[in-house]
Structures are given as C-alpha cells and as structure tokens.
C-alpha cells in the first residue's frame, strides 16, 4: 500500500513534525485541526467563543478533505478533543451543522490541555470512493 502525505495551503500548515493528512489506500487520515487562520497561521480564539473556534476548525478540516476532492460525506470517523466538557453542547451544535442525514462514527473526550491552549481540536478519517 502506498502512502501519500497531504498538504494544502487552504488549511493551516502543520505546527510540528506531522502532515495535515496521510492517504493510505482508500483511507484519508486527517490530523487534528485547531482554530488557526489558514492564511496567517495565527491562532483565533474569538474571545473564548468555542462555537466560533469550532467553525474555523471544521472549515480547516473541510479544506484538507477538499484537497483530496472529498467532503464531510466521506468521513467515517471523527474524534473531538475538548478542553472542558462544558463546551460539548456548543461544539456539538456547530459540528452537526456540517453533516446532513449522514453521521460518521465519533468519539468526544475532554483532555487536560490542547495545543496552543485552544478549546477544541477535531481529527477525522475519511474514505476515498
């Protein structure tokens, strides 16, 4: 099986030694996205508004998917990382707006801290049809 590292200028550049995504056969493993502005690489915390952070996270994830001509309909599994489980409702509402009737498998966990002290990070696995 061949592996292909994915990089798009429409999503934030990796902030460490990893790829935005890796395609392995018919699967695309998308690294966790945080609320970074893809044009500037600057962190956007929106004065602690986790819903706005989530919109940017989902937009960044969407850009990675689009780079391989995929959409959220191709996503088979996501993992949401939260800095505080009290943010679950706001994150869940925004997250759900990116999916129609189709809902991928998902895990959601609260962690002690996230990169750059953000409130939300989301990763995904998608299937290439």
Active-site residues, by number, are 108
Q: Answer for the pair 120, 82: CB distance below 8 angstroms, yes or no.
A: yes
| Whether the Cβ atoms of residue 3 and residue 24 lie closer than 8 Å to each other | yes
**Rounded to 5°, angle at Cα 83 from 78 and 88:** 60
Residue 24 near residue 1 (C-beta atoms within 8 A): yes
Please state the φ and ψ torsions of residue 20, each to the nearest 5 degrees. -60, -35
Q: Are 114 and 121 in contact (CB under 8 A)?
A: yes
């Amino acid at each position: 099986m061949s592996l292909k590292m994915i990089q798009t200028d429409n999503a934030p550049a990796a902030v460490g030694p990893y790829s935005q995504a890796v395609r392995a056969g018919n699967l695309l493993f998308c690294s966790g996205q945080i609320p970074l502005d893809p044009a500037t690489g600057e962190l956007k915390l929106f004065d602690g508004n986790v819903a706005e952070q989530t919109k940017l996270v989902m937009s960044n994830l969407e850009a990675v998917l689009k780079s391989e001509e995929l959409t959220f309909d191709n996503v088979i599994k996501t993992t949401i990382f939260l800095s505080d489980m009290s943010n679950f409702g706001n994150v869940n509402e925004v997250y759900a707006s990116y999916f129609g009737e189709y809902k991928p498998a998902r895990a959601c966990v609260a962690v002690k801290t996230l990169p750059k002290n953000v409130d939300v990070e989301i990763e995904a696995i998608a299937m290439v049809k």
